[in-house]
Structure 1
Amino acid sequence: MSDQGHHRDLRAVTPALPVRGHLPYGEPAGTPDRITVTSRYIERDGRPWIPITGEIHYSRLPRERWNEVLGHARAGGLNSVATYIFWSAHEPEPGRFDWTGNLDLRAFTELAAARGLDVVVRLGPWAHGESRNGGFPDWLLGRDLKPRSNDPAYLALVRPLYAQIAAQLRGLTHAEGGPVIGGQVDNELYDQPEHLRVLREIAEEAGLRVPIWTATGWGGAQVPDTLLPVYGAYAEGFWEDEATEWPAFAPLHFRYSEIRDDLSVGADLREALDGIAAAATHLDTLRPFATCELGGGMHVAYHRRPLVSGEDVANLALAKIGSGSAWQGYYMYAGGTQRTGPHGTEQESQATGYPNDVPALSYDFHAPIGEHGQIRPHHHYLRRQHLWLREEGHRLAAMATQFGGGSADPEEPRWAVRSDGRSGYLFLTTYQPPKRPIAGQPGVQFTIRFADASVTVPSAPIDVPAGHSLVWPLRYALTPALELRSATAQVITRLADEDGEVVVLAATEGIPVEIVLGDGSIVGLPGPPGPDCLVQLAGVRLLVLDEASANRLYRLPIAGRDRLVLADAPVHAEAGDLVVQPETPGVTVAVWPAPDGFSAEGADLGPPRDEGLWRTWTLRAHHAGSVPVPVEFRQAAGPAPAPARGGPMRRLSAPTDYSGAAVVHVDVPDLEGADRALVRLEWTGDAGRAYVGDRFVSDQFWHGRVWDIEITPHRDAVAEHGVRLELLPWRRETGVWVDPSVRDVEDGVAVSSATLVRVGRARLRAQGER
């Protein structure tokens, strides 16, 4: 590559053929919908395939919420979900297994399949997942054995667990026509490759046979060749020390790089429990780059409480695609609530030997789907990437990857190209989190030389503002006869109606949209990007959306066919219907190709309006909307508890004495038939607990975000008692780490607002076809 001024000239790499048949996983020839693993990507039914997997813990969600959460996951563009199987939940007493209620693994797996989602089971036996004893039952730790090893006494207890799991999943594996495509053994085990190998053997002996077996590869883990190493990448980490301003590996994840590992993840446990510092693994050229824990958000601990934004999540995920990822896996994709067992709540804590105290109940993780079903901005940001991967993943997975600007120098342009030698995508980023931002790039222009032609994009240099990650198509086939040579806009998806195909692109704010066809002609837009910006070309139309509209765009199966939906509120599809779950009464929904009409349950529906491609409806949802609620301080806060330290790393410990807490009463009005209701608290302080009557229902270590307390399951008790808050005061000198953006909060306790958020549910059933 040469660099003349701000113009970069590079030659696209033609990918080498992948190595096949060398890995001891995958399915034999002749298997329907066969899944195999090559050295560079996963294949499904004979072509490259990128799994898009989100972690959802069935045992941390109410069973009645599973369907909704899985529906939103599918609407978010996932094609699979992963889930921990917590041993402590399923075998609370030796020999007594429980698979009922929200522990019904089989029912969860079947429901995922009904939603069009594959399943990866994370079998344990040790899971971590911020769970008490890593998910080990307390009774196990009382035995004379060495866990997480090939100690025969330990394996004798693992075998019945795995046999139970295999029985639950009988008939549901991929080879049996079911959704279970993968299994992970143990978690974050970095120095016991023979034990990992044996765990797979035990699972298969029990009857669980899946095409892909994995083990976590971060921290320099020694993963045997019988397992595919999968990696993680987080923008932040609650597990860091309170003196750490930003984890050492975090900046790397916002650059394009061949490095798959992250030595920060799990480093506290390696150091505290085993006294081991890991070393990074070498580049693996025989197994594809697969991830299972791209941070979908971030949890908080008492001593360290990061803020990870939706922009952080989306930009990190896109950087991994630009770095060659062949499997996008998120942890968490949907938050949940810690279980309560015979010893109380089952969270990670210093009391059970961990370095960190985390909240007793909340496992929200600021995930794309929150602990109580809240839909966060990154659900929308990620969906744009997932729709693109759904459309282009088979091509992208097979493309070679090359990088530039992989250093820590914030002035160095950061770019990558994924190419098949004739076409591809140019990646460019100017994004790092606000705590350490990088500057925009002036005069950006690239020439990419393919074997038979060159593409210069854009046609004249442009300035790329700070805070953006871009993916521009290169020589993209619009029709067999028409090529999109380049575009300074991102491909999202494509869909057809009776008038032909529409290719959907998304503009980036601050970046002029330039569309260049294969003959070099530049196509003008009929107006600014938006839902009505439709470019008519020979045999195809281009819809160029603005960013706000792109973040409202869904692709959902409605009334027997895929349709594009623009919605002001979270939506998903269920049995061919469109389900809308708004927090405000008024919602606009536009559909293409549109049915003639909808009938509505749970909302009043206005008449349709034809607006360009779209047919638009305005609906007024029943029982939706937010109202302020009164807050009464019934006891002022006393002095903050004296700081205490504990655990193997002597970190700050969560207070247990709430006698000096401020006591606040929230009087909650009638929920009015809302599908879900939350009390949303804006407050400052240190730590808080919420009660309905005497029942402990929620907690939060304050970290700068609102505190959502779900009250739906407690309707009658809330009507009688309201919500009682116990809030400990903030004291800066305690030394708790919070994000710089909220660090200047005053000592004490303050409640600036409390709001009752009523979430409605409307179901729209299509009537006829347009």
Structure 2
Amino acid sequence: MNPPADITVTPRWIARDGVPWFPVTGEIHYSRISPERWSDVLGLARAGGLTSVATYVFWRHHEPRPGEFDWSGPRDLRGFIRRAAAHGLEVVVRLGPWSHGEVRHGGFPDWLVGSGVPTRRDHPEYLGRVRAFYAQIVAQLEGLTHDDGGPVIAAQIENELADQPEHLATLRTMAEELGLQVPLWTATGWGGARLPESLLPVCSGYADGFWADSLAAWPSFCRVHFHYEEVRDDLGVGDDVARALAAEATSVSPSAAPLPTAPQSPDPQTPFLTCELGGGMHVAYHRRPLVSGEDVAALALATIGSGSVWQGFYMYAGGSNPFGGGAAHPDGEQESQATGYPNDVPQISYDFGAPIGEHGRIRPHYEMLRRQHLWLAADGHRLAAMRSRVGGGSAEDPHSLRWAVRSDGDSGYLFLSTYVPDGHLDPQPALQLRLGPEQGLDASQLVPHEPVDLPAGISTVWPVNLPLDERTRLVSATAELLTRREEEGGAVVVLTARRGIPVQLLLAGAVEVSGPCRATGTDDGDTFVELTADPGPEVLLTCGSVRLLILDEATADQLAVLPVDGRESMVLCSAPVHAEPVHADSVRPAATRLVVHTEEPEVTLDVWQGAGTSPRWRRRLVSAPRAGQQEVLCRSLVLPATAPQPRVGGPEERLAAPADFSGAAVVELSIPEEHLEDEDQGSGQLLLRVDWTGDVGRARLGDRLISDHFWHGREWEMDLTPWREELRRGSLTLELLPWCAASGVWVHPSVREVEDGVVVRSARLIRRERVVVTG
């Protein structure tokens, strides 16, 4: 067994065996996903370019009664970590004890909340309870930490606790005394947090926030994340809960510190690490954001342009709150006004609009983020050591170009943006910038070589002085670096052309270029290259000793790098695909096979054979004849329904989720018997997607609630796979409350103009097949 890598922290980056390292982490909550789905979700996360996953350990999910701990089934933290390791993923364990995560009481068990013991401070009785909980976690992690050759590289202490540095230090010390040894210890650093020196601050940034007031068109705290900025602190994330908890603390201790009113300046001695970049956004009853894939990708890229050296996404995969008996509270396991919080959120659904949805649906930003992550895998070791310098643009000016440069003196990346979620910035005609010492580059140069028009609504990054190999250097390009592969005949560097931006390349010196292009010499003796064909999977240029494969966006969105026949290969697939270990119990990646998840009966799968082969891509068709969809409603329905009287509640007096469904429209859906056969189990999922408009929907099987939905513009999706037996005995009942614009509920302007009432446009059964690719 190889010794574990030496992970260290410098003031500007994290190093792995002395080399700058750029991790990519996504939040996945094991206790919100059935264990049968863990492997697929983790496999898709790895295929999406993650290097690690983060997960909360919700105290209430494990100790429903004092001293009675449960680590079984969906609560099997150890099993989840082992499965992550089998997929080649490292793990960040968010220990709590308070977690938030939109869970009832922030994850505290009801018995603790009702005990009257002061929490989240160095109170002896509270620390005793935490010690018992931490001891259980440490036992689950035995042999799985980094120093033991395992995947657990980091632990986060508490969450969003801004004014108790001594308590945070106590919690780390306690965990270490109990035997937890990891290279990295972190704590959330936003909200003006004061942290002890023993914990690294990690940052956040969201494209929208369900916790904002329902009158906010676009929360002001989100705007900073769409331009390049040195400030890392965010006073907006969870500020409503912070106010509620601060008010409670003040009632106990009038001398409690006030909440900060201005963001902190970044600490020059700590690197810019993130753990909560919005991978989407949850919804509350009063406010229901509709964050797009473009929003998520632009925010993530702006964070890199601002100097991040660790991309951490919350959430990366959605899930469902525990419900229906066991340790679940009869009022639900969700955050609610009934528990003193400002917001009512869905009782079951925690989809979060994430790249991987609550039931495994792959959204566009999964692919958009994967393009960034493949780039970081290829060049993150260089990028992590590059300083960021803001070139222009601000949150207040909608007309000027927003741009920044990260550079190491010799080479770097130019970040450009005309994107904001609430309306695109002006296009930038004839764009050309002079970069030089002010941007950290040793020599002055124009980028791009010839001016190009930059469209409105785009966020992109271009390489500058990128070494392609020892002999060839890309001075500039109007395309994004996607990945690179080393082949026997030399390096293959893959670029992505963005829509509306013509590809031009400038190579240092006189370089012989062949392929579908026009190459000319410049006055400075360099080689200027323009394409003569549209970018795509066959557009390959030979530039000296290097080949450049230039893809269009649609093709780049299909590209993953996966193990095929024992080596990492580029794969194009028209459906989500990942690699899974042949031996599921392996703690380390071993032999793998490809798994395709498809809602179509036929999938194309292309594997890169090499630049010197013909054809370069080997295609095979993957058959899934049972995949597809079937309408279960023959026509659109306009249904009579009566809305209950609006209510407000919680410390912020916000609209409360209705409890009275007596006036709801009721739809009974019978599922055809052929979809309920036993042979389907294990081969895929049976999903129901409802396209509707209204207020709140609930789905029931008899008296059992199996799904809920606050309408916000996306389809309502539920997984019927676990309920096949019940569906044989009866129908599925949908209870739908009507939309009422006058209620004051905020939804996105793009979906807001709907009629009051309930309209069910369609209800479709989806058969998503899981196909193991053999041969």
TM-score by length of 1: 0.92
Letter in 2 for 1:102: P
Pairing 1:394–2:410 present: no
| Contact in 1 for aligned 2:39/2:580 (Cα 8 Å) | no
Q: Tell me the distance in 2 between the aligned counterparts of 1:633 and 1:403.
A: 51
2:413 maps to 425
The 5 Å alignment of 1:484-495 reads: 484-495=474-485
Give the corresponding residue for 2:575.
569
Residue number in structure 2 paired with 1:527 = 533
Task: Quote the offset at 1:635 in angstroms.
Answer: 11
What is the CA RMSD across the aligned residues, in angstroms?
A: 1.7
Pick which of 435-444 and 570-579 moved more: 435-444
CA distance in 1, matches of 2:636, 2:380: 55
Name the CA distance, whole Å, in 2 between partners of 1:589 and 1:39: 44
Cα drift, residue 243 of structure 1: 1.1
The Cα shift of 1:561 comes to: 0.2
Q: 1:437 to 1:635 in 2, by over 3 A?
A: closer
Seen in structure 2, the aligned counterparts of structure 1 residues 541 and 635 have a Cα distance that, compared at 3 Å, is closer
Q: Partner residue of 2:179?
A: 207
Aligned-partner Cα distance in 2 for 1:636–1:683: 11
Instruction: Indicate the SS of the match to 1:237.
Output: coil
2:516 is matched with none
Matches of 2:181 and 2:57 in 1, distance apart? 17
Following superposition, the deviation at residue 693 of structure 1 comes to 3.1
Q: Is the 8 A contact 2:638 2:759 kept in 1?
A: no
- The alignment status of 1:98 with 2:70, answered yes or no, reads yes
Residue matched to 1:437: 424
* Cα offset, 1:31, TM superposition: 7.0
Q: Is contact 1:634-1:662 (8 Å) kept?
A: no
Contact 1:132 1:347 in 2 (8 A): yes
Q: CA deviation at 1:526?
A: 5.2
Label 1:765 to 1:619 Cα distance change in 2 as closer, same or farther (>3 A).
closer
Distance in 2 (alpha carbons) for counterparts of 1:645 and 1:482: 65
Q: 1:636 to 1:411 in 2, by over 3 A?
A: closer
Task: Give yes or no for the alignment of 1:469 onto 2:459.
Answer: yes
Distance 1:649 1:611, change over 3 A: farther
CA deviation profile, 1:359-387 (whole Å, cap 9, x unmatched): 00000001000000111111100000000
Counterpart among 288, 312, 335 of residue 305 in structure 1? 288
Aligned residues: 722
Match of 2:140?
A: 168
1:381 and 1:719 map into 2 onto residues whose CA distance is 40
Residue 219 of structure 1 is matched in structure 2 by 191
Give 2:276's match in structure 1, choosing from 266, 290, 293.
293
1:654 aligned to 647, 651, 657, which one? 657
Conservation of the 8 A alpha-carbon contact between 1:637 and 1:663: no
Whether the 8 Å CA contact 1:411–1:438 is kept in 2: the answer is yes
Q: Secondary structure at the match of 1:367?
A: coil
The offset of 1:284, in angstroms, is 1.1
Distance of aligned partners of 1:633 and 1:496 in 2 relative to their CA distance in 1, 3 Å threshold: closer
Q: 2:329 corresponds to which residue?
A: 343
Structure 1 residues 616 and 219, CA, compared in 2 at 3 Å: closer, same or farther?
same
Structure-2 residue corresponding to 1:579? 595
- 1:404 aligns with one of 391, 394, 412: 391
Distance 2:622 2:70 in 1: 43
Would you say the 8 A contact 1:181–1:211 is kept in 2? Answer: yes
**Residues of 2 paired with 1:667 and 1:533: CA distance?**
50
For the residue of structure 2 that corresponds to 1:161, the secondary structure is helix
Q: Are 1:687 and 2:696 an aligned pair?
A: yes
Does residue 512 (structure 1) correspond to residue 502 (structure 2)? The answer is: yes
After superposing the two structures, state which structure 1 stretch, 570-579 or 90-99, moved more: 570-579
Alpha-carbon distance in 2 for matches of 1:587, 1:127: 41
Q: Which runs of 5+ in 1 are unaligned?
A: 1-29, 596-609
Q: Which residue of 2 aligns with 1:15?
A: none
Alignment partner, residue 623 of structure 1: 626
SS of match in other structure, 1:479:
coil
Partner SS state of residue 167, structure 2: helix
SS at match of 2:727: helix
Equivalent residue for 1:482?
472
Question: 1:618 offset after TM fit, Å?
Answer: 2.0
- Which amino acid is the alignment partner of residue 657 of structure 1? D
**Residue of structure 2 in register with 1:453 after alignment:** 443
CA distance in 2, matches of 1:687, 1:524: 53
Structure 2 length-normalised TM: 0.91
- Residues 74 and 116 in structure 1, CA contact (< 8 A), matched pair in contact too: yes
Aligned counterpart in structure 2 of residue 500 of structure 1, from 482, 486, 490: 490
Deviates more, 1:485-494 or 1:265-274: 265-274
Indicate the SS of the match to 2:220: coil
Instruction: Find the counterpart in structure 1 of residue 589 from structure 2.
Output: none
1:351 to partner: Cα distance:
0.5
Which residue of structure 2 lines up, in the alignment, with residue 588 of structure 1?
604
Cα distance in structure 2, aligned partners of 1:74 and 1:320: 21
Whether 1:315 aligns to 2:301 is no
Looking at structure 2, the residues matched to 721 and 437 of structure 1 have their Cα atoms a distance apart, in angstroms, of: 49
- Report how far residue 131 of structure 1 moved: 0.1
Counterpart of 1:388, as a letter, is W
Counterpart amino acid of 1:366? G
CA distance in 2, matches of 1:46, 1:688: 53
Taking the aligned partners of 1:76 and 1:206, their CA distance within structure 2 comes to: 35
Instruction: Give the equivalent residue in structure 1 for 2:750.
Output: 741
Cα contact 1:239–1:266 (8 A) shared by 2: yes
Instruction: Pick one of 349, 352, 356 that aligns with 1:369.
Output: 356
Shift of 1:692: 2.4
Q: Establish whether residue 241 from structure 1 lines up as the match of residue 229 from structure 2.
A: no
Rounded to whole Å, the distance in 1 between the matches of 2:446 and 2:359 is 47
Please report how far the alpha carbon of residue 460 of structure 1 lies from its aligned counterpart in structure 2 after TM superposition: 2.0
**Amino acid across the alignment from 1:428:** L
Residue range with higher mean Cα deviation, 628-637 or 483-492: 628-637
1:645 is aligned to 2:661 = no
Please say if 1:360 is aligned against 2:347.
yes
Deviations 1:32-90 (A, max 9, x none): 41000000000011100011000000000001100000000000000000000000011
Which of 351, 358, 383 is residue 370 of structure 2 equivalent to?
Answer: 383
For 1:288 and 1:36, the matched residues in 2 are separated by 12
- Partners of 1:216 and 1:210 in 2: how far apart? 17
For the residue of structure 1 that corresponds to 2:208, the secondary structure is: coil
Q: Which residue of 2 aligns with 1:7?
A: none
Cα shift at 1:405: 2.3
- Comparing 403-412 with 133-142, greater Cα deviation is found at 403-412
Counterpart Cα distance in 1 of 2:352 and 2:474: 40
- 1-side partners of 2:71 and 2:689: how far apart? 33
Measured at CA, do residues 716 and 501 of structure 1 come closer, stay the same or move farther in structure 2, by a change above 3 Å?
Answer: same
8 Å contact from structure 2 (residues 637, 759) kept in 1: no
5 Å-filtered alignment, 1:528-543, equals 528-543=534-549
Q: Could you say what secondary structure the match of 1:112 adopts?
A: helix
Tell whether the 8 Å contact from 2:276 to 2:312 is kept in structure 1 after alignment.
yes
CA–CA distance in structure 2, aligned partners of residues 524 and 644 of structure 1: 62
- CA displacement 1:115-171 (0-9 Å, x = unmatched): 110100000000000000000000001223210000011001000111111111011
Asked if 1 retains the 8 angstrom alpha-carbon contact of 2:487 and 2:610, the reply is no
Instruction: Label 1:383 to 1:689 Cα distance change in 2 as closer, same or farther (>3 A).
Output: same
Point out the more displaced range, 665-674 or 122-131: 665-674
Kept in 2, the 8 Å contact 1:85–1:122? The answer is yes
Partner of 1:11: none
With 684-693 and 303-312 compared, the bigger mean Cα shift is at 684-693
Say which is worse superposed, 551-560 or 505-514, in terms of deviation.
Answer: 551-560
Residues 322, 328 of structure 2: 8 Å contact kept: no
Q: Which one-letter code corresponds to 1:457 in the other structure?
A: V
CA contact (8 A) 1:685 1:748 kept: yes
- Aligned counterparts of 1:499 and 1:621: Cα–Cα separation in 2: 37
- Select 1:678's aligned residue among 673, 681, 687: 687
2:18 maps to which of 28, 46, 64:
46
The 1:342–1:431 alpha-carbon spacing in structure 2 relative to 1, beyond 3 Å, is closer
Contact 1:75-1:555 at 8 Å conserved across structures: yes
- The Cα shift of 1:413 comes to 1.2
Shift of the 526–635 alpha-carbon distance from structure 1 to 2, 3 Å rule, reads closer
Contiguous gaps of at least 5 residues in structure 2: 248-257, 510-525, 582-591
Does structure 1 conserve the Cα–Cα contact (< 8 Å) formed by 2:622 and 2:773?
no
